[in-house]
Amino acid sequence: PLVEFLNFEVLEDHGWALEDDDLFEKAADANLRSSDFGRFYVDPNDTLLEAAEKNGFAWPFACRGGACTNCAVAVVEGEMPSPASHILPPDLTEKGIRLSCIAAPVSDDARIVYNLKHLPEVSELLL
Ligand code: FES
């Protein structure tokens, strides 16, 4: 899968929202740093977090086992499974929030906002 990614902190800085239809188009026009907005491929068998790291990006994590939510991302486009054994409550998974340490997109293309640990609903779960 080819992942296009955006840093959640950029949304906060620009007053954008996860629900904005043209979020990634606005990001493409905003002259962002390569660590805040870009693309990479995810190799088969890698988690999204591992793929980000292989491509030189330092995305947040702590437990690497689905237990802490530090690695949370929002799937804005595409499909990414949500394995059963993790700490995220159903209302967050229904909104497309996933843990990058235990899964990766399965669709050919995906748009992912990382650094979701700064979203209030996620930060209150942080361990
Ligand atoms: Fe802890 Fe992913 S790093 S849930």
Cα–Cα distance, 82 to 98 (Å, whole number): 6
Which is the closest atom of ligand 1 to the Cα of 69? 4
Average of per-residue pLDDT across 99-108? 97
With 90 as the cut, is the pLDDT of residue 99 above it? Answer: yes
With 70 as the cut, is the pLDDT of residue 58 above it? Answer: yes
Provide the pLDDT for residue 127.
65
- Cβ of 101 closer than 6 Å to ligand 1, yes or no, is yes
Question: Ligand 1 mean position to 92 CA, how many Å?
Answer: 15
Question: Ligand 1 mean position to 99 CA, how many Å?
Answer: 6
Name the residue range of residue 100's domain.
Answer: 2-123
Amino acid 7 reads: N
Question: Ligand 1 mean position to 7 CA, how many Å?
Answer: 17
Complex ipTM tops 0.95: yes
CATH of the domain at 55: 3.10.20.30
How many structural domains comprise the chain?
1
- Cβ of 61 closer than 6 Å to ligand 1, yes or no, is yes
Question: Which of 46-55, 62-71, 117-126 is predicted least confidently?
Answer: 117-126
For the sheet containing 37-41, what is the strand order?
37-41, 2-7, 109-114, 72-77, 97-99
